[in-house]
Amino acid sequence: MNRVTSAAAYQRNGVHTEPKPAASAGDRVDLSDHARMVAHMQAMPEVRLELVEQARSAIDDPAYLSDDRLNAALDSLLDDINSDEALR
């Protein structure tokens, strides 16, 4: 690195750093669990708030909840939990 490039790097960063060598074919990137979760969430479809509000209103109606609906919801929740555990 010549003095002009070095001075410019120092002025930009306030720190003198030497250029890093180019990546080799053996380099790799490891993603954290947090990064994987963020990527998964970004790939999810957008939440449709109008449907969420409709569901909340329906659930607030005492006539909506029945043993059959509660059992179906619990079965679906357990299926989701079991399938998530199978992916690990």
Nearest CA to 74 among 82, 86, 62, 63? Answer: 82
Q: What is the mean pLDDT of the chain?
A: 78
pLDDT of residue 17: 55
Distance separating alpha carbons of residues 47 and 53, to the nearest angstrom: 11
Q: Is the pTM of this model over 0.85?
A: no
pLDDT per residue, tens digit, the chain (88 aa), is 445 555 555 555 555 555 666 666 677 777 788 888 888 889 988 889 999 999 999 989 988 889 999 999 999 999 999 887 766 6
